[in-house]
Structures are given as structure tokens and as C-alpha cells.
A and B are shown apart, each in its own frame.
Chain A
Amino acid sequence: MGVSAIAPAAAPPSAPLTIHSAGDVLSEMYCLLDTLLTAATPEEPYSLALRRVLQAAHASEAHGFPLALLPLLTCQAAGGDPLAALPAAAAWRALHIGLKLLDDVEDGDVARLNDDANPAQVINLSTGFLTAAQLALTRLPAATCTALQPDLLHTVLRMAAGQHRDLCRADQISLSNHWAVIEAKSGVFFALAASSGATCATLDVNEIARFQALGHHLGVLIQILDDWVDTHQTGGLSDLATGQPSLLVCYALTVASPSERERLQALLSCAPLDVEAERTARRLMAQLGCEAYIHGELTRYRRRILSIFGDNPALSPTVQPLYDWFLALDSTLSSRAMAVV
């Protein structure tokens, strides 16, 4: 990717926002979302249900990794006050939650995760979050809102296209198709997070494009590590056990000899009901070089991300927190990936 390095931005008036000082800001963002979700129907059980989902999402960020900081940190790195991007971060997080709910329904995960859950209710809750995402943008200055609305809606359409491709490919697993799905679903989504934050700070389209590229590569990196984890989960939770295609499966089926492919396909078809078949499939995939392939692709995307930060080891005080956030994210996800094998 021919993207030049992120330029040092002017220092904001107060101390920079960092991953360590972001707790209150994130709480403020979740408060804004709570207001947007419940203002129209404060007494309705629907609002209570939306609030429960929101609280679970907040808790997962508080105890996991604060992904919703990305728009705030890119705004800061582009020279803006990170708080100016709070509505953009809320919009992105609402979209994240709403699409995740839909994804769970489409993948058949709702009943698997919770016996009492009702897919129709989950779809209805998703409607609330997708609407709140658009409402959040109206809290931005008019010009920024006008600039970001089409970006958000186009992102939803691109992700839906990626999901459609994913849902329609049951018998057509291919490596190039899987990469297209990863880019459309995860790359495009994180590109929106990074570019929407930058848009709150600058009108410079080249600068915004740099952050968009950074977000895209981050999204792909996250998905590669997710695919690794999902392939190696145990207890009937792996992609092999649930019959979902993953990058590792697509790689293995692409490079295997005809006889190996036939054997792997037979194992994969038994894996949902046969733990030994799942284990053997995983072993065969490892023998075909999955580990080396994943290593190569992770290296590619890490290098792309680092090249956007530039070669200068001394980043400006406004860019450094974004860099530190990336290192912490990579470390967190990598530790998770190593823990499953």
C-alpha cells in the first residue's frame, strides 16, 4: 500500500488521551449511547433490553480491550481534540454491537449461546443499535455529520455485501473469496472507525485516507487472529465444530493435493459431531503448513500498519497513544491466540 507516514500533529491543549486514561471518556461514550437508545421510549421493556445489551458491551470493553477508543485516538493523532470524536466513536460502537447481534442470528449462535434467547428479539434489538448509530452522528457539528453519514451507510452496505458473500459460499470455499470476505467485513469496518475519528479533526482527504488504510489493515489483522482462535477453540466452539469456513481451512483446502483435500473435506463434514474428526482435521491442516502461512500474513499486515506510522521511532505526543494502543491490541489478541493452542 502506497501510504505515506502519519504526519506529526499539533499537540492538543490538554494531556493526550491514552489507553490508560480513557476509562472516563469511554464511560461518557456509553452514557451518550444509553441516552440515544432509550430517550424515545424510556419506560418500555425494549429500552431495558437495549440497556442490558449496552451494559454487557461496556463490561466487555472494560475487561477486554477498548476497541471503541480507535476513533478518539485517530482524531487526536490527526490533530483534533479526542473528545470531539466522542459521537463518532459512539456511532461506530453502536454499529459494532448492532451488526454483531445480527451476525449471531445469521450464524445460528443465538440459541447456542443462550437457551432463552429469541432470534426475533435479537434482530429487533439490533434495529435499536443501528438506529442509535445514526442518531449519534447528529451530535457532531453539521458539516462533520454530513461528511460521515454516507461513510457509515456505505460501510454497512459493503459489510452486508461481505456477509452475503459469506452466507452464499457454502459449497464454494476458496482462499481468494475468504480474503474478500475478511476485507469486506472486518477491514472496511475498522477503516470506518479510524477514518471517522480523523474526519472529526481534519478536512485533509489524504490525511483521512492514511487513517482509513491504518484501520483497514488493523481490521484484517484482527480477523486473521480471530480465525486462528476460532479454528483452535475446544468444547464444540471451534469453526471446525460449527462448520464455519476460516482462513486456515480455506488455505488448507487450496494447497492440499486432491487426495488430501478429499480426506480433509470428509473430516470437516464429520467435525460438528465427532471430536476426533475435528482433532484430526486440525492436525492435517497444521501438517499442510497453516502455521507458516498465518505467520506470513500476520507479518504482512503488521508491517503495513507500522509503515503508516513511519520509520521515525520518536512519534509526536498526539500519535504515540494511537501507536501504543495498537501494540497493546496486538499483544492482547496474540496472547489470546496463543492460549488456545
Chain B
Amino acid sequence: MNTELAHIIHRAATSPQFHARLVNDYTAMLAEHKLQLSQEDTQVLKDVLAYISGHPAADQPTHTHTSARPGWDGGPSFTAAAI
């Protein structure tokens, strides 16, 4: 497991802009931030991006910075998909 991936997931989960740019072209985005992920980590990232896209939190008002974002604690219904 690599900590870099955890930070990317955090930014994708807390910043809709970051998430959207990753969805649009994760290869360019990772290169821009000088991030290198293994093939397996890249697949995990793609899974997580798709997961975030379908999450109710994705509809919350956008933030311009990466911080704790309301919406992820929205209730158990979506947790079924996480697990």
C-alpha cells in the first residue's frame, strides 16, 4: 500500500475539481503532480474515482480547497456500495 495513493484518494474525495480533472485525464493529472502509481494502484484509483462519481457527496456544494467535506457522512444507504 502506498501513502501517495491515500493522499490522491483524499483529494479526489474532498475536492470536486480535483476529482473531475482526474476523471477527465488521470494520466496527465498524475504526471502534472509528479506522481507515479503502479498498475495495480492505478486500477484502484480508477475504481475509487468511479465510486466517488456515484456518491451523493459528489452533489454537495463545491469547495475550492481540499478539506473535510460534508456529504460523505450522509447515511448508510451508500455504504453498502463501499463495502
Contacts and interface: CB of A to CB of B under 8 A. Distances in A.
A binds B: yes
Contacts of B9: 255, 289, 292-293, 296
Q: How large is the interface on B (under 10, 10 to 19, 20 to 34, 35 or more residues)?
A: 20 to 34
Contacts of A256: 68
Of residues A256, A282, A286, A296, which shows the largest number of chain B Cβ atoms within 10 Å of its Cβ? A296
B73 A296 contact: no
A333 B72 CA distance: 22
A176 B3 contact: yes
Contacts of B13: 288-289, 291-293
A223 to B, nearest CB: 12
A146 interface: no
Contact of B83 (A176, A260, A286, A338): A338
A251 B78 CA distance: 20
A175 interface: yes
B83 A175 contact: no
B44 A255 contact: no
Given A292-B51, A297-B44, A300-B40, A287 B79 contact: no
Contacts of A289: 9-10, 12-14, 72
Of residues A179, A256, A300, which shows the largest number of chain B Cβ atoms within 10 Å of its Cβ? A300
Interface in A211-232: 225, 228
Given A175-B3, A293-B6, A338 B68 contact: no
B48 A292 contact: yes
A22 interface: no
B43 interface: yes
The dominant DSSP class at the A interface is helix
B31 interface: no
Interface in B30-83: 40, 43-45, 47-48, 51-52, 55, 66-73, 76, 78-83
A108 B44 CA distance: 36
Nearest to A179: B1
Interface of A: 175-176, 179, 225, 228, 251, 254-257, 260, 282-284, 286-300, 303, 334, 337-338, 341
Interface of B: 1, 3, 5-7, 9-10, 12-14, 40, 43-45, 47-48, 51-52, 55, 66-73, 76, 78-83
19 contacts: A179-B1, A255-B10, A256-B68, A260-B67, A287-B68, A287-B69, A288-B68, A289-B12, A289-B13, A291-B13, A291-B72, A291-B78, A291-B79, A292-B72, A294-B83, A295-B48, A303-B43, A334-B83, A338-B80
Given A292-B52, A293-B48, A296-B48, 13 more contacts: A225-B83, A257-B66, A288-B68, A289-B9, A294-B82, A294-B83, A295-B48, A296-B5, A296-B51, A303-B43, A334-B83, A338-B76, A338-B79
